[in-house]
Amino acid sequence: MQDIIQLLPDALANQIAAGEVVQRPASIVKELLENAIDAQSTNIKLIIKDAGKILVQVIDNGVGMSETDARMCFERHATSKIKTTEDLFAITTMGFRGEALASIAAVAQIELKSKRANDAIGTQILIEGSKIKSQESVSSPVGTSIAVKNVFFNVPARRNFLKSNGVEMKHILDEFQRVALAHPEIEFSLFHNDTEIYQLLIGKLSQRISGIFGKNYQKILAPCQEDTAFLKIQGYVGKPENAKKSRGEQFFFVNKRFIKHYYLHSAVVRAFEGLIPNDCFPFYVLFLEINPNEIDINIHPTKTEIKFIDDRMVYALIQSAIRKSLSTNHFAPSIDFSVDVNFKFDEELGKKIIKENPLQDRGSSFSMPKQTPKEKHNQDNWQDLYKVLADKTNEGEEAKWHINQETGEMRIESKINQIVPKQSNLFEQENWMSTDRPVFQILNQYIATPAKSGLLLIHQKNAQERLFYDKFLHISEQNHATSQRLLFPTQIELNPSDWAIFQEIKNEITSLGFIFEYKVSKENIEEISKNSSKKITILSIPTDLIDQNEKEILEEILEQYQNSSSQISIERRKKIVNLFSKRLASKKKTYLNKEEMHNLIDRLFASSNPNYTPDGQVIMNLVNAADLASFFTQTKLQF
């Protein structure tokens, strides 16, 4: 029988490896920039055309390569970073796998020029789909220039999955920012379609932060530093009042390598606890310096994941360093370490508490909290509910609920426990538009109303999301947006990555009722390159946004649009309306009176899809008789 296992050709193996290493043009940017840093460069230039789809070029003034090295660097697992197994446990360079250039060459056309300082002439290599087309000697400056053209030219399916230029450019800018932040001792520049986006000179970390995110960041930075034998921490955190509802400005670097670590991020959030809202994210740029033997970065080809031998120790040190920074800079109450914070039980105080609260559990020395006005209000609503249901019973209507007038208990009578078969048209059999139908609110999150077959539960937030979506989609398509002019226009400063997204979706946002003011002249292009940011002014907002923070909403839409780009591709207009509706519906728990609940139910059943949100989340659920009966037919406890 013929053998069936064969060794894959190098070209095919490289394309398979490229699936992990090269996900989009931003992946190429990351790998080329890291190679330039490992080459001891002091000046790195990044040139992008058509969001990296046409060209990604990195020019550095590093040590360069010989003629042999220039050809060997495109072979799989060929690297100058490690030589032995022991080197894997003491990695100090950005790259070490020897996969990046081979993977990039498998899916793109590459032109490489490199020269060492001692060489009289440099080397040029042309590669296309892992095949070397030519290699010759050329005149070139010291360093390396590598141009990656027409990414995924030989894998059209992968190229079709690339997103719009705005989204791809934002990913490139994110990678550029991470590398530039980690190395303020290197000069970086970025050009997109012959326009200068960044020109970052050599300087301090604080200067690099303001150069990337804008000069305003100089005023919000607080230094954070901690030095121990195990871990050294240094960097900056932002003021609590400058925390944003959108992510994207949180940076961890371990030995100058950017990482994503949600466990360590939670340490930062815990340090800010009580100083920022729960749905906001603080700004921070933190550098962790640790012995390479204490970490493992050989987890994923992107090298953004990392494992610590003692991650709990790292967690505690980060949290302590940030709290110390916040306290020192008077962003948080200072801690007096001379005070004994251990709990001591006061016997006399305990007796007093018990005396004042005779109904509490004698096994506890703590009193029950008093009811807040909101809780008292909710209790009154429940009493009104009992009254409505009791009145219905007294009028002779068939009673589905039984109210104990003495204790206030509400329970379902035995008739409801009869099993009713499920029907596909249960919703159609009901007269949901009736204003006489009892409705009540649960926890200010759900609306409940009795039905012939059981109990209908409506998720209040999801229902509002569906209603907002239908409303604003119609407004956007018909271009009938109504706006409210702001008495004091709001100014927003966007960094180049957010500006790229804004330029792509500004028409869809404007169709919702936003009116902006900004300039697009050549002078403003120069201003972007100098200040690394772009200012826009919100003059008018949709009428539904009154009494809300329009700046936070716009920033969140920009971020969510980028993050949702990995999902199934839908029409851009519908995606923006969906994000906008989701943000409008994400209010805190809201109390609704009877008329408002009836109005919401009426509008919901008149909507395009009362059962699901645009994202497919369930809006309503019918708890039928069988479901209700199952709550009370479980096996009783054995004593």
The answer to whether 205 and 288 are in contact (CB under 8 A) is no
Task: For the full predicted model, state whether its pTM sits above 0.75.
Answer: no
Res 556: pLDDT: 75
What residues does CATH 3.30.1540.20 cover in the chain?
A: 424-639
Count of CB atoms within 10 A of residue 232's CB?
A: 14
Partners of residue 485 on adjacent β-strands = 540
What residues does CATH 3.30.565.10 cover in the chain?
A: 10-203
pLDDT digits (tens, 9 = 90+) for 210-219: 888 888 888 8
Res 14: pLDDT: 60
Q: What is the mean pLDDT of residues 604-612?
A: 82
Q: Which has more confidence, 598 or 123?
A: 123
Q: Which has more confidence, 125 or 547?
A: 125
Q: What is the mean pLDDT of residues 411-432?
A: 43
Q: How far apart are CA 77 and CA 98, in angstroms?
A: 4
pLDDT of 442 higher than 70 = yes
pLDDT of 561 higher than 90 = no
Q: Which has more confidence, 29 or 394?
A: 29
Of the candidates 348, 341, 160, 180, the residue with the CA atom closest to the CA atom of residue 251: 180
The answer to whether 149 and 110 are in contact (CB under 8 A) is yes
Query: At 639, is the secondary structure helix, strand, or coil?
Result: coil
Domain 206-328, architecture per CATH: 2-Layer Sandwich (3.30)
pLDDT digits (tens, 9 = 90+) for 134-156: 999 999 999 999 999 999 888 88
The answer to whether 277 and 284 are in contact (CB under 8 A) is no
The answer to whether 185 and 36 are in contact (CB under 8 A) is no
Res 547: pLDDT: 64
Write the single-letter amino acid at 42: T
pLDDT of 478 higher than 80 = no
Res 113: pLDDT: 94
Nearest 5°: phi and psi at 350? -65, -40
Identify which of 12-16, 113-117, 164-168, 402-406 has the greatest average pLDDT.
113-117
Sign of CA dihedral 513, 514, 515, 521: negative
Cite the beta strand spans of 219-357 per DSSP E. Answer: 221-227, 231-238, 250-254, 257-259, 284-290, 295-296, 307-308
Q: For residue 218, what are the contacts with CB-CB under 8 A and spacing of at least 6?
A: 206, 210
CATH of segment(s) 424-639 = 3.30.1540.20
The answer to whether 464 and 470 are in contact (CB under 8 A) is no
Show the 3-state SS of 99-111. CHHHHHHHCCEEE
pLDDT of 162 higher than 90 = no
The conformation of residue 22, written as its DSSP 8-state character, comes to: -
Q: How far apart are CA 395 and CA 385, in angstroms?
A: 16
pLDDT of 358 higher than 60 = no
Res 357: pLDDT: 46
Structure tokens of 266? 């939670």
Whole-angstrom CA distances from 506 to 421, 561, 583 are 51, 12, 17
The answer to whether 33 and 175 are in contact (CB under 8 A) is yes
Q: Which has more confidence, 436 or 365?
A: 436
Sign of CA dihedral 564, 568, 573, 578: negative
State how far Cα 181 lies from the chain centre: 20
pLDDT of 559 higher than 50 = yes
What is the four-CA torsion angle of 162, 166, 172, 177, rounded to 10 degrees? -150
Count of CB atoms within 10 A of residue 207's CB?
A: 14
Q: What is the mean pLDDT of residues 83-107?
A: 66
Q: Tokens 């012939």 map to which residue?
A: 452
State how far Cα 453 lies from the chain centre: 42
Q: What is the mean pLDDT of residues 549-566?
A: 71
pLDDT of 455 higher than 90 = no
pLDDT of 485 higher than 60 = yes
Q: For residue 154, what are the contacts with CB-CB under 8 A and spacing of at least 6?
A: 107, 129
Of the pLDDT bands very low, low, confident and very high (cuts 50, 70, 90), residue 60 is very high
Res 423: pLDDT: 37
Show the 3-state SS of 586-604. CCCCCCCCHHHHHHHHHHH
Q: How far apart are CA 522 and CA 409, in angstroms?
A: 72
Res 105: pLDDT: 87
State how far Cα 153 lies from the chain centre: 31
Q: How far apart are CA 90 and CA 123, in angstroms?
A: 32
Question: Interior CA angle at 117 toward 116 and 122, to 5°?
Answer: 45
Res 52: pLDDT: 92
Q: Which has more confidence, 455 or 380?
A: 455
Q: Which has more confidence, 381 or 244?
A: 244
| Weakest mean pLDDT among 194-203, 296-305, 342-351 | 342-351
Write the single-letter amino acid at 325: S
- Give alpha helix (H) positions in 47-116: 67-72, 100-106
Q: What is the mean pLDDT of residues 226-240?
A: 91
Of the pLDDT bands very low, low, confident and very high (cuts 50, 70, 90), residue 378 is low
Whole-number average pLDDT of the chain: 75
Q: Tokens 């970065």 map to which residue?
A: 297
Topology of the domain covering 10-203: Heat Shock Protein 90 (3.30.565)
Structure tokens of 531? 């200040």
